[in-house]
């Protein structure tokens, strides 16, 4: 069982275990050693980071460990998570590493590792690295070294390579000449990239929260704080608002009248676009257990099956590949189209949504009109330990009662966060007041049993 790697890599407070300098060096060394066991050549690693102030020293520590263990490191500097995934695949590197904590506040950071395919590394590699950390094998990792990153390509060249892929491949034939977009970059990795991309394709762009200072990433902005984007879209009379998170692997949207468009609604629009082109393989869309039952009902009306995976884009991708499906994602805005990228990419999703808008000649509000969201409530409870819910008798009693009351008119999901010490209680049903009462009832039982 893994203890450090969650559903999206290692994440925690920068400077504290496992994101202290010695452990980060060990992670770099361990990754390099593993890569040497599966390749006859010196392994190459692409590294990128978001805008957190801790990113630079974490990158230096990672490079020191991996270089000393025999790897060649190439830095793309500040770049999106999917940008690293693309470059790893395009440059045929042995691994890609992203230093980011995604939507978390600036004092957190994280390490995500990609395989040469652009997929997240398999569990066996994560277990290998964890075993070395646990055994504290620091012989290669803590040696002080002046080795820095190779500079075969400059950071600008790598970022431009990724932007060219987005504009010339994903955006091929897409004209945004009459489109006005407000882009909330969350003061993160997309700040210098997203406005350039959309302007290259002809859009009029209003960029907000695109001035990172190391500490303002995700601060009252981006995909977790959509309200300011909503008001700005209306004020600017824009066609679309786009909100990224800190590393831009997810995107959420605001339509032309200021209405929030989540990942479920994005899946609805993109699935209809693929249906029109007869390119929705197997008439399947992969979502997660968190997706609203309204999406399932709407897709069913189109003859499309909604397949639910565990929470985490890693598990969505596994299900997509297993079923040879063409579209999947999460309510939070991670959208994956395997034919375009094996990583969730907020800028790819944005381009695909813009294509749906321009080709249909319909505003986004019209494209989402047939999707109805059932009322949904999500309550997070901070816990001191993650105990199997079935072992918590009072919690199980409340769950049974709520399921009986919801019957077939709603849905209850109880799960732990993969990245934080949180229990999540999610309930959907026809009556908002009723489901809020049910969720608080279950959350109260969890607090009594294992709450902090």
Name the residues annotated as catalytic: 102
* Whether 147 contacts 129, CB under 8 Å: no
Q: Are strands 95-99 and 108-114 parallel, antiparallel or unpaired?
A: antiparallel
Concatenating the DSSP letter of every residue in 270-339 gives: HHHHHHHTT--GGGEEEEETTS-HHHHHHHHHTT-EEEEE-SSHHHHHHHHHHHT-S-EE-TTS-EE-TT
CA distance 344 to 61: 27
Q: What are the phi and psi torsion angles at 191 (to 5°)? A: -55, -40
* Among the listed residues 237, 171, 183, the one whose alpha carbon sits nearest the alpha carbon of residue 209: 183
3-class SS shares of the chain: helix, strand, coil, % to 5: 40, 20, 40
CA distance 290 to 378: 10
Q: What angle do CA 304, 332, 96 make, to 5 degrees?
A: 100
Q: What is the widest separation between alpha-carbon atoms in the chain?
A: 65
Q: Give the tokens for residue 80.
A: 């999106």
CA distance 122 to 90: 19
Q: 130: cis peptide before it, omega within 30°?
A: no
């Amino acid at each position: 069982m893994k203890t450090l790697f969650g559903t999206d890599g290692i994440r925690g407070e920068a400077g504290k275990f496992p994101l202290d300098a010695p452990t980060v060096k060990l992670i770099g060394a361990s990754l390099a050693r593993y890569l040497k066991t599966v390749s006859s050549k010196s392994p190459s690693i692409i590294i990128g980071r978001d805008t957190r102030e801790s990113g630079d020293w974490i990158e230096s520590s990672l490079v020191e460990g991996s270089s000393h263990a025999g790897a060649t490191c190439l830095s793309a500097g500040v770049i999106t998570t999917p940008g690293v995934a693309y470059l790893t695949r395009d440059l045929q590197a042995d691994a890609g590493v992203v230093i980011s904590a995604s939507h978390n506040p600036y004092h957190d950071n994280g390490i995500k590792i990609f395989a040469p395919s652009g997929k997240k590394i398999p569990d066996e590699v994560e277990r290998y690295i964890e075993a070395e950390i646990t055994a504290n094998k620091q012989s290669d990792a803590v040696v002080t070294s002046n080795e820095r990153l190779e500079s075969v390509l400059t950071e600008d060249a790598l970022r431009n390579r990724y932007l060219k892929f987005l504009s010339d491949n994903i955006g091929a034939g897409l004209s945004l000449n009459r489109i006005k977009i407000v882009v909330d970059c969350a003061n993160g990795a997309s700040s210098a990239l997203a406005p350039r991309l959309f302007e290259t394709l002809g859009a009029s762009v209003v960029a907000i929260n695109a001035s990172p200072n190391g500490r303002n990433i995700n601060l009252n902005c981006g995909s977790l704080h959509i309200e300011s984007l909503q008001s700005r879209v209306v004020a600017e009379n824009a066609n679309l608002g786009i909100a990224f998170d800190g590393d831009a692997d997810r995107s959420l949207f605001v339509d032309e009248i200021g209405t929030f468009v989540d990942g479920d609604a994005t899946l609805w629009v993109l699935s209809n676009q693929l249906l029109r082109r007869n390119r929705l393989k197997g008439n399947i869309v992969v979502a997660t257990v968190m997706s609203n039952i309204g999406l399932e009902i709407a897709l069913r009306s189109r003859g499309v099956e909604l397949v639910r995976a565990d929470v985490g884009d890693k598990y969505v991708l596994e299900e997509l590949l297993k079923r040879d499906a063409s579209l999947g994602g999460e309510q939070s805005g991670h959208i994956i189209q395997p034919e375009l990228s094996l990583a969730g990419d907020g800028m790819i999703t944005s381009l695909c949504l813009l294509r749906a808008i321009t080709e249909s000649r319909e505003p986004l509000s019209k494209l989402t009109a047939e999707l109805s969201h059932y009322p949904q409530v999500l309550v997070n409870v901070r816990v001191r330990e993650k105990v199997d819910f079935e072992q918590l008798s009072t919690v199980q009693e409340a769950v049974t009662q709520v399921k009986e009351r919801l019957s077939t008119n709603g849905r209850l999901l109880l799960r732990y966060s993969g990245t934080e010490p949180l229990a999540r209680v999610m309930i959907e049903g026809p009556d908002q007041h009723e489901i809020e009462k049910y969720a608080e009832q279950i959350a109260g039982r969890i607090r009594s049993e294992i709450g902090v």
